[in-house]
Amino acid sequence: MKLNKNDRDQLNIAIGKCFAKSPLDMYDKEILLKEGTLMNLINEYGLNENQAREVILWCQLQCQKEWGQNSFYVNKYCDNDNKFKYKSPYSDQKRFRT
């Protein structure tokens, strides 16, 4: 996919954020997921293999953080009184003392 100048600049910024271990915003992650293949980062952006892997792994980590935060959002599991709607399957088990 051919990037326009603004997207190419944004991808360069996203790569810089990966090296700085800064959080990526949604647009950075989106453009890295589309254009951030290992071979593309090596051929088009002059990164070596280790640098390209670091960029990909940082993007992966940031995506996992976002997906994890969204999937365990507290209001999803709590009612208005901040009490859990769902009972834990472990709450009825008796604890064994040793």
Tokens representing 88?
Answer: 């834990």
Average confidence (pLDDT) over 60-86: 61
pLDDT at 47: 94
Q: What is the dihedral of CA 56, 46, 27, 67, to 10 degrees?
A: 0
**Percent of residues, the chain, with pLDDT higher than 90:** 38
Tokens 């589309």, located at residue = 34
**Whole-prediction pTM:** 0.65
Tokens 């953080």, located at residue = 65
Distance (Å, whole) CA 59 – CA 52: 11
The domain spans of the chain are 5-73
Sequence-separated (6 or more) residues with CB below 8 Å from residue 75: none
